[in-house]
């Protein structure tokens, strides 16, 4: 089962970060295991239909291939930035990852060449939060 199907996921911030899930079908809360010891878990997103955690300081992206199974966490990407910028993953596809850098700009990281390219999108606010929206026509039950 993909981690993002029929469930809402969130990360509890604080001294000890934790990931929780609420299954919308069975109405059950579950605590999910974190990726293997990596440091500071910064962000949680659904990318490519899988639960994904972004880690600092290594800029590692971990993907949970099987929901709730600790051993299914796989490290997908590690990239290094000599500028010490803060990155947040937004979406990935075909070997490219859309990242938000310092809450101010969007960049595209290419996994094959390990390069980062600023997309230079005109008209963005000075600070913003980028996210992916998926339309759905699914009706909620009463």
pLDDT in tens, 96-112: 888 888 888 898 888 78
- What does the block give as tokens for 107? 């960049």
pTM for the model stands at 0.66
45 forms beta bridges with 52
Closest CA to 63 of 32, 85, 28: 32
- 73 in a domain, yes or no? yes
Q: Is residue 138 part of a domain?
A: no
Domain interval for residue 103: 7-118
Residue 125 lies in a domain: no
Residue 124 lies in a domain: no
Task: Say if 126 falls within a structural domain.
Answer: no
Q: Give the total number of structural domains in the chain.
A: 1
Is 20 contained in some domain? yes
pLDDT tens digit string along 28-81? Answer: 999 998 888 656 777 787 777 788 888 766 667 888 888 888 889 888 776 666
Residue 130 within any structural domain of the chain: no
Residues 80, 82, 87, 93, Cα dihedral to 10° = -40
Determine the Cα–Cα distance for residues 53 and 35; give it in Å rounded to an integer. Answer: 8
- Residues, the chain, total? 142
Q: Specify if 136 maps to a domain.
A: no
């Amino acid at each position: 089962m993909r981690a993002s199907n029929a469930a809402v996921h969130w990360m509890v911030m604080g001294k000890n970060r934790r990931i929780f899930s609420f299954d919308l079908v069975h109405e059950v809360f579950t605590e999910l295991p974190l990726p293997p010891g990596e440091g500071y878990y910064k962000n949680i997103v659904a990318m490519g239909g899988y639960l994904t955690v972004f880690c600092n300081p290594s800029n590692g992206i971990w993907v949970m291939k099987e929901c709730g199974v600790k051993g299914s966490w796989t490290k997908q990407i590690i990239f290094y930035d000599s500028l010490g910028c803060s990155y947040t993953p937004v979406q990935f596809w075909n070997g490219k990852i859309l990242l938000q850098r310092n809450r101010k700009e969007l960049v595209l990281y290419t996994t094959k060449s390990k390069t980062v390219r600023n997309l230079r999108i005109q008209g963005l606010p000075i600070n913003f939060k980028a996210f992916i929206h998926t339309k759905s026509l699914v009706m909620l039950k009463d």
